[in-house]
């Protein structure tokens, strides 16, 4: 498969897809005054092989944020939004995305197939999120997709507590599906949880909130490269609700 996003992730020493999103699921600010350029610089310096940009408005994102990140980033970008129409794929590519989120649990199976085919035709890597084996079975062309287990539930707007055991339980099925790049996403909130998922066999982790609140990205990078330092990771004080 020909995918800059997958190649970057599989070739990375620290396969962490570092996410930029303005607010967490409860509406709290995650950016703390930093510009998109500041965030890109911090993540790239920490060794991010790819970045995720949330453009969905539940999390305070906009398409313009993706364009702004793309102006500064030199790594492949994933757009995270609720994509239901082909026109959104063209927009994603024009804004600078290399990969697009498609949510298996929210799309009828025929729409999922159409969007996976259309994304691949646009040169975009489908990054398909699933939460169960039943959803995994609905993913077409898994060998051409990144498949990510979401440890939270997007139908609950990600306000539910994360269940990392879901990622551990679904890994064998993910591997059997033929995806080149099994990913675990959401609610990974400590470097040791990250290290555990990578040790289990995940080839990529998608982390937003915890990185945006972290004051020690190096500890995360160490976890990502299997060199977990036994040190405390200070968190930013949770920012006020907006």
Ligand X SMILES: O=P(O)(O)OC[C@@H](O)[C@@H](O)c1c[nH]c2ccccc12
Interatomic CA distance for residues 175 and 154, integer angstroms:
23
Residue in the shown chain whose Cβ atom is closest to ligand X: 208
Interatomic CA distance for residues 86 and 2, integer angstroms:
21
Give the Å distances, CA to CA, from 203 to 10, 34, 77, 213: 7, 29, 17, 23
H or E stretch at 19: strand 16-20
- Exactly one of 3, 79, 150, 184 binds ligand X (CB under 6 A); that residue is 150
Q: Among 8-16, 52-60, 89-97, 130-138, which window interacts with ligand X (CB under 6 A)?
A: 52-60
The answer to the question of residue 135 lying near ligand X (CB under 6 A) is: no
For residue 27, report the phi and psi dihedrals to the nearest 5 degrees.
Answer: 90, 0
- Exactly one of 207, 219, 228, 233 binds ligand X (CB under 6 A); that residue is 207
Q: How far is the first Cα of the chain from the last one, in angstroms, to the nearest whole number?
A: 42
CB of 189 to ligand X, least distance (A): 7
Q: Among 54-62, 67-75, 194-202, 234-242, which window interacts with ligand X (CB under 6 A)?
A: 54-62
- Exactly one of 80, 166, 203, 213 binds ligand X (CB under 6 A); that residue is 80
Residues near ligand X (CB under 6 A): 19, 21, 54, 56, 59, 80, 101, 129, 150, 154, 158, 185-188, 206-210
């Amino acid at each position: 498969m020909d995918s800059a996003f997958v190649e970057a992730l599989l070739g990375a020493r620290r396969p962490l897809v570092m996410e930029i999103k303005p607010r967490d699921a409860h509406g709290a600010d995650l950016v703390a005054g930093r510009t998109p350029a500041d965030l890109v610089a911090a993540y790239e310096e920490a060794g991010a092989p790819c970045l995720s940009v949330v453009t969905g408005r539940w999390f305070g994102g906009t398409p313009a944020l993706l364009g702004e990140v793309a102006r500064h980033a030199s790594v492949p970008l994933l757009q995270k939004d609720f994509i239901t129409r082909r026109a959104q794929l063209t927009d994603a590519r024009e804004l600078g995305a290399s990969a697009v989120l498609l949510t298996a649990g929210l799309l009828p199976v025929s729409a999922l197939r159409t969007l996976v085919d259309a994304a691949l035709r646009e040169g975009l890597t489908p990054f398909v999120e699933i939460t169960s084996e039943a959803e995994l079975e609905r993913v077409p062309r898994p060998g051409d997709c990144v498949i990510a287990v979401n440890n939270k539930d997007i139908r609950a707007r990600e306000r539910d507590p994360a269940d990392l055991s879901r990622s551990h339980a679904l890994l064998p099925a993910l591997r059997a599906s033929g995806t080149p790049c099994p990913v675990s996403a959401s609610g990974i909130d400590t470097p040791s949880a990250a290290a555990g998922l990578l040790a289990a066999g995940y080839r990529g982790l998608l982390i937003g909130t915890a990185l945006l609140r972290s004051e020690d990205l190096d500890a995360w990078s160490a976890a990502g490269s299997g060199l977990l330092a036994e040190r405390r990771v200070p968190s930013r004080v949770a920012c006020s609700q907006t």
